Structure 1
Amino acid sequence: MGLTILLSVFAITMLSGIPIAFCLAIAAFCAAMIEGLPELIVFQRMVSGMSGFTLLAIPFFVFAGELMMRGGIAMRLVRFAETLVGQVRGGLGVVNVLSSMLFGGISGSAVADTSALGSVMIPMMREQGYDDDYSVNVTVTSSIAGIMIPPSHNMILYALAAGGGVSISSLFLAGIVPGIMMCLILTLATYWIAVRRHYPSQKFPGWQAVFFAAVYALPGLMTAVVIIGGVLSGIFTVTESAAIGAIWALLVTICVYRSLTWQAFLQSVTQAIRTTALVMILVGAATAFAYFLALYQVPDMILGAMTAISDNKYFVLLMINVALLVLGMFMDMAALILICTPIFLPVVREFGMDPVQFGMVLMMNLGLGLTTPPVGACLFVGCAVAKVRIESVLKTIWPFYLAIFLALLLTTYVPAISLTLPRLFE
């Protein structure tokens, strides 16, 4: 009865358009009342969920990403990528993917990637004769690199939802190879479509131009090196590394590029505060909701249901992937990480999957959800930047979905893709 009330209230409130954090909290309160538990226990779970020291890294990562989005780093990365690969057929499409890979490794946010690079790349591609649907498709799907390639605040949420038994540094390392692999497969799809549509290529500007573009982009790229290097070397904790990364981003955009205005700085601070507040409220509400999921033994029920259908490891993992893809189409990524991790992590562990590998599968699945209707944030941002209808974009985006799905299957069924780097640095 209690589980039915919990899930029913959550579904009804979500369909009513109430923000997801409040849906989770309301459902948890209703479950507490049905079970005769004091309502105070919901508040206690919410506060305990928001009290983790590691969560302090999130506002610093978000702030650093906001600074870089508004501080001119995106343009320099695009210029570097353009000099490097712009000479191939449909070169600006390949440049778009490479820029997303580089910028994603700095900002750690798919939406920031879509917004920052989309505002630069989409008008540039339009001027060179590329169709708007192609420009948006490449920009939106390649933005998932911001989730996979470290640093990524979503990986911190996953480590929290996993109960603290998963190393954040291992997650950071595990995301590098799947993220790069996904971008390479997207590059092949990008090139294939460019050839079919007879898009132009650019003249190679020479290695001197490549060198100078790399030099100009290097200070921005060093942000990721500072963050990841500090964590792996043991000099900083993840939280300290995030703070140092934010300071580095501030110094680069003010002292090196000198492109961060006072207004842009205030916008960065304001947006970072808003995002952090939303994430923290969501973390607290999801922690309370997850408490009742554990109370009702939902993970055991899911495991029993899946093994009743099939005890084949590969088929069960495929079912989990499909479930995550469907959920990602309708719910916010951060909420799904906090809800789905306690449910599906015990299931995949029963079938021998490493929690670090599952983290990468989860990130790529839910990242794909950001590019799909009806609630795909990256899809909406990309279409808004290009001023095109979503319907026109969805007609031609399927090759890019297939490319990401191929990368997802490889990440799911080939553990070495995710686990080689973490095991090398153990």
Structure 2
Amino acid sequence: MQFTLIGFIVLIAFGVPIAFVLGLITLISIATTGNMAMLYSLPSRMFSSTLNFGLVAIPLFILVGELMNYGGITRRLINFCTALLGHVRGGLAYVNVLANAMAASIMGSANAQIAVMSKVMVPEMERQGYKKDFSTALTVSSSVMGPLIPPSMPFILFAVTANGAVSIAALFIAGIIPGILFGIAFAILVSFFARKHNFPKSERVKFSVISKSFLNILPAMIIPGAIIIGIMTGAFTATESAAIASLVAILVGFFLYKELKLKDIPKILINTTVNSAIVTFLVATASIFGWILTFEQIPQLIADYIMSIVSGPMTFLLVVNIFLLLVGMFMEGAAAMIILVPILMPVALSYGIDPLHFGVIVVVNLTIGILTPPVGTGLFIASSIVDITLERLIKSVIPFLVAALIVLLIITYIPSISTWIPSQMTK
């Protein structure tokens, strides 16, 4: 196992994509242990790991995000938020937070949200006198809401890797209040900076303009509305909601907004296919890596060690938070989740921790990883799009990172924040 660990560290250090790292480490482990017969089972195990109905939701929600971008939905969301809040001191910064929250209810991916919002919000904030450092940091940080407010691809992966301990639909609903908490925390921080730096504000617009902007976004809001209402009423599953959301996004883009064109469809499908293939390949390689870990009894050893040093559920959650934050600094969130959830979930259940609560904690921790160097993907995406150095961006992100950690602690030690809405659905 020493060769496996050394190989993992070396490959990560050289920047090899995590999916390839997991596959190569599996082969190294088999070769060094002499269990060559396991090679015959690798292809079937990789294939079978992707045969999960819940995973079908991932390409569908990616498709929804692509349709939204090409269909003009993002621009209309921002226009509404600007009409509503632009006249407030630091109004465009509040717009950034609110627009990210609304986009989160459609996209479900933090990285996709960062890419879209960085192209739109940062240049506009610069034109109105905001510093690029602050604008970019706010945009990146606000994207943390993406995986929490449904739909959410990380919640789908968590449910799949938790081996049926919790449903995708319940996780979607559990993330609503935590996502709103992050929005409130960032808005409070914006309020502080607005007074400190005397942020600009625009003229108050007429109520008729706000009303028109609101009517413009109503068709787009059918998408998250259909998802949440459908899941809460039991009308359809999370995967079925993804298909319905895709259909609604097509209808809205083609017939209501009329910005989605037939010529855009090939590009949309290609982007969806490529991004879906990346996630699927990661699931496949992580599954065989997890198989090797199980064969070596690593999960059991880790679980036994944790239980030997941790006295209760509150201490366990603190240890998990610290551990996952460290992991998120060096590993992409989806890969970390696929590897670690099967190890940590049984331990969490043994301490009597609600699986919904634990799922939200895991997703929040690994999502915060997009804000932390050296592997924070959100930092790299935003810095390349807006042309800002990583050093400047990291320095500006620190206050938002502190706010995110405070919210994480609140979510961790007040379980009802995650479990209250799902509990009401079962009554």
1:263-342 correspondence runs (5 A): 263-342=263-342
In 2: Cα distance, 1:31 partner to 1:348 partner:
28
**2:356–2:419 contact (8 Å) kept in structure 1:** yes
May I ask how many residue pairs the two structures share in their alignment?
A: 424
Q: Which runs of 5+ in 2 are unaligned?
A: none
C-alpha deviations, 1:343-391, integer Å up to 9, x for none?
A: 2222222222111111111111111111222222222222223221111
Moved more, 88-97 or 287-296: 287-296
In 2: Cα distance, 1:359 partner to 1:350 partner:
15
Give the SS at the match of 2:416. Answer: helix
Residue in structure 2 matched with residue 372 of structure 1 by the alignment = 372
**2:169–2:237 contact (8 Å) kept in structure 1:** no
Matched residue type, 2:289: F
Give the SS at the match of 1:107. Answer: coil
Give the SS at the match of 1:147. Answer: coil
1:384-399 correspondence runs (5 A): 384-399=384-399
Give the SS at the match of 2:130. Answer: coil
Alpha-carbon spacing, 1:316–1:203, altered in 2? closer, same or farther (3 Å): same
Residue in structure 1 matched with residue 92 of structure 2 by the alignment = 92
In 1: Cα distance, 2:134 partner to 2:52 partner:
42
Residue in structure 1 matched with residue 229 of structure 2 by the alignment = 229
Matched residue type, 2:163: G
In 1: Cα distance, 2:265 partner to 2:401 partner:
35
In 2: Cα distance, 1:263 partner to 1:158 partner:
36
1:114-125 correspondence runs (5 A): 114-125=114-125
Residue in structure 2 matched with residue 81 of structure 1 by the alignment = 81
Residue in structure 1 matched with residue 27 of structure 2 by the alignment = 29
**1:329–1:376 contact (8 Å) kept in structure 2:** yes
Matched residue type, 1:170: A
Moved more, 137-146 or 223-232: 223-232
How many angstroms does 1:135 deviate by?
Answer: 0.3
C-alpha deviations, 1:24-70, integer Å up to 9, x for none?
A: 12222333341524312222221111111221111111111111123
Residue in structure 2 matched with residue 142 of structure 1 by the alignment = 142
Residue in structure 2 matched with residue 15 of structure 1 by the alignment = 13
Residue in structure 1 matched with residue 62 of structure 2 by the alignment = 62
In 2: Cα distance, 1:419 partner to 1:185 partner:
20
Give the SS at the match of 1:419. Answer: helix
How many angstroms does 1:312 deviate by?
Answer: 4.2
Matched residue type, 2:222: M
**1:108–1:149 contact (8 Å) kept in structure 2:** yes
How many angstroms does 1:298 deviate by?
Answer: 2.7
* TM-score in terms of structure 2 length: 0.95
In 2: Cα distance, 1:131 partner to 1:178 partner:
29
Moved more, 367-376 or 168-177: 367-376
In 2: Cα distance, 1:272 partner to 1:174 partner:
27
Matched residue type, 1:222: I
Residue in structure 2 matched with residue 361 of structure 1 by the alignment = 361
- Answer yes or no: is 1:181 the counterpart of 2:181: yes
In 2: Cα distance, 1:412 partner to 1:238 partner:
25
Alpha-carbon spacing, 1:371–1:69, altered in 2? closer, same or farther (3 Å): farther
Give the SS at the match of 1:210. Answer: helix
In 2: Cα distance, 1:17 partner to 1:394 partner:
20
Residue in structure 2 matched with residue 204 of structure 1 by the alignment = 204
* TM-score in terms of structure 1 length: 0.95
